[in-house]
Amino acid sequence: MDVCTSSSTPQTETFPSAPAPRAPSLWRKRLLEDRVQLPRFWPVIQNLVIQDLRVRYQRSVLGFFWTLLNPLLMMAILSWVFSLLFRGIENYPIYLFAGMVPWGFLSGSVNECALCIIANEALIRKIFVPKLVFPLARILINLVTLLLSMGSLFLLLWPLGARPSLPMILLPAAILLFVAFTLGLSLIVATANTFYRDCGHLVTVFFQAWYFATPIIYRAEDFPAATQWRFRLNPAYYFIELFHDLVYFGKWPQFSSWLLAIVIALASLGIGYAIFKSQEDKMVFRL
Amino acid sequence: MPYSSRKKTRWYSDSESHGPGSRNRASSGVPLIELRDVSLRFINYADKQYSFKRAVLDLVLRRESPVPVSEFWALRNINLRINHGERVGIVGGNGAGKSTLLRLLARIYPPSSGTVEVRGNVAPLIEMGAGFNAELSGFDNILYNGAMLGFTRPQMLSKVEGIHEFTGLREFADLPLKYYSSGMYMRLAFAIATEIDPEILIIDEALGVGDAAFQERAKDRIFKLLGRSHAVILVSHDMNSLRQLCTRGLWLRQGQLVADGPIETIIDQYLAWTHAAKAS
């Protein structure tokens, strides 16, 4: 049935045979195609982002304030509860802020991306759009929220001792790496959830557990030195530490932290991209 | 049977190239669309959501062929070349694979095997509301739909006048699309799809909507497109409009291309066959 008539060039027999001659060219073609297609469909991404932001805030009186209120309330509650438990952390609200806002971006993006292909079924089944557009749009929407809430929460925390410091100029780099990391995870989850719809539920639970496993509401140093290595198994730990260093401690992160963050971000992005692209064509049949 | 591997499937479109090269090709003998031995298979999973639990169970219990699967070949071994300036009408009963073929050409479905080559940009009018957003105004939708079809904002802004001209919906430009009637909707979609001057225009039964005056103008506009040696592919059950508009006919039956030739012959054959089928 699977008849192939695509003009296959007669290959010269070599021994030993050349290792996997086709695979690289396939991936190069996919990358090239994305490089052409994504700029072409940039207006579509733009539109998805703008429209989502507009719809989210157009009929609520407080508008953007709601995005701030949620982390603010969380921080208020946690500050109160944990100031009783961990007396060691000074400026605890700022510590919380430095970890929680980036985490909100990560979990928000991944959870939304899980549904992004299914939610845009109507579009995908009617017109050709590179499917990468949908996760990218979700990430950008969350990125806008991240930047806005970071900026405004920082100002709100001013009375509690939030002060800008010179190392904060590296914050864009940290955010960029974190976005790459998030995008990779989002692509994996988006692919998995399109094929297995129950993944979305698992992801929510998994992120709850991951949240507590990452030093966001507590400090890794508060644990005995013998168990410190466990945190190093957590890929999110390195990014959160970067944010802690830059925002809370106001110190320059170590070079090794940057290197690890870069490696993890690129690995996540690479794996996510590979998984997403290899399944992209089949997605339309599973909607 | 596993999914046919990517190696067999070449999916190629150079619709990106809006440069002068794409126009020059009109004179050369390269066909706009070339399908070589294309098949498309749909797999029906017993329940569409092949769950994770089941996948794990299948893996653990080493069950072959996970869920009772029924295959359905929507298209089988289609060979087709469409050249510049051809107006192709596709006929066939319900479920013959007409719309599937159009979607394949519009890159919505990938072929399960074989190669599809589409040279030039495609404007698909396959379903109502494809690439529109009901919340946005008519004007914004022109830009949005243009983006879907691969045109930048400035490029589309220069076409807005022409689109309003054709649709006569200028006074509704600020109205959200959800308040448009289906006729207005259709007019807008058709106007955009033709105003961008696509090399390949794909229309699925769209001409049925809209009043008589509009249908006449739509036909006019299709002929004008053809003057610039673009291809039009039309699916319809309205034999009269097919006879008027098309030069070449394709007859699909159960996913197979049973006849290909001048439109009159194909329609006559098809009608004769339907009458025979009805009689027996």
The model's pLDDT over B69-81, given as tens digits with 9 standing for 90+, comes to 677 888 888 998 9
According to DSSP, the residues that pair with B81 across neighbouring strands are B34
What ranges do the domains of chain B cover? 6-121+198-279
pLDDT on residue A207: 94
In a 13 Å sphere around the CA of A199, the CA atoms on its Cβ side amount to 25
H or E stretch covering A83: helix A65-85
The answer to whether the bond into A16 is cis (omega within 30° of 0) is yes
According to DSSP, the residues that pair with B34 across neighbouring strands are B81, B117
Q: Which of B37, B73, B153 sits opposite A5 (nearest CB)?
A: B37
Check whether A60 has a pLDDT greater than 70.
Answer: no
User: Shortest Cα distance from B100 to chain A (angstroms)?
Assistant: 11
Interface mutation target, options B9, B43, B108, B126, chain A, most CBs of A under 10 Å: B108
Least Cα distance to B173 among B219, B127, B138, B133 occurs for: B138
Check whether A48 has a pLDDT greater than 70.
Answer: yes
Model ipTM value: 0.75
Size of interface A-B (CB pairs under 8 A): 107
Single-letter amino acid code for the residue at A149: S
pLDDT on residue A154: 84
CB–CB of B124 and A127 under 8 A? Answer: yes
pLDDT on residue A1: 44
Assigned CATH class of B6-121+198-279: alpha beta
CB–CB of B51 and A196 under 8 A? Answer: yes
A206 confidence band (pLDDT: 50, 70, 90): very high
User: Shortest Cα distance from A79 to chain B (angstroms)?
Assistant: 39
Cβ-based neighbour number of residue A90 at 10 Å: 9
According to DSSP, the residues that pair with B125 across neighbouring strands are B203
B116 φ/ψ angles, rounded to the nearest 5 degrees: -120, 125
CB–CB of B147 and A126 under 8 A? Answer: no
Please tell me which of A57-66, A93-102, B2-11, B130-139 the model is most confident about, judged by mean pLDDT.
Answer: A93-102
Percent of chain A with pLDDT over 70: 88
CB–CB of B131 and A123 under 8 A? Answer: yes
On chain A, the residues whose CB falls within 8 A of the CB of B144 are: 43-44, 47
Task: Measure the CA–CA gap between A162 and A75, rounded to whole angstroms.
Answer: 14
Please tell me which of A81-90, B54-63, B99-108 the model is most confident about, judged by mean pLDDT.
Answer: B99-108
On chain B, the residues whose CB falls within 8 A of the CB of A128 are: 106-108, 122, 124
**CA A265 from centre of chain:** 10
On chain A, the residues whose CB falls within 8 A of the CB of B53 are: 198
Structure tokens at B170: 């200028």
B5 confidence band (pLDDT: 50, 70, 90): very low
Check whether B150 has a pLDDT greater than 50.
Answer: yes
Residue pLDDT, tens place only, B210-239 = 677 877 888 888 888 777 768 888 888 888
Residue pLDDT, tens place only, B89-125 = 999 888 888 888 988 988 888 888 888 888 888 888 8
DSSP A196: -
A219 confidence band (pLDDT: 50, 70, 90): confident
DSSP A161: T
- Exposure string over A14-46, b if 16+ CB within 10 A, otherwise e: eeeeeeeeeeeeeeeebeebeeebeebbebbbe
On chain A, the residues whose CB falls within 8 A of the CB of B51 are: 196-198
Least Cα distance to B188 among B244, B249, B248, B145 occurs for: B145
Residue pLDDT, tens place only, B37-56 = 889 888 776 555 556 666 67
Least Cα distance to A103 among A201, A209, A205, A239 occurs for: A239
Task: Measure the CA–CA gap between B23 and B30, rounded to whole angstroms.
Answer: 12
A200 confidence band (pLDDT: 50, 70, 90): confident
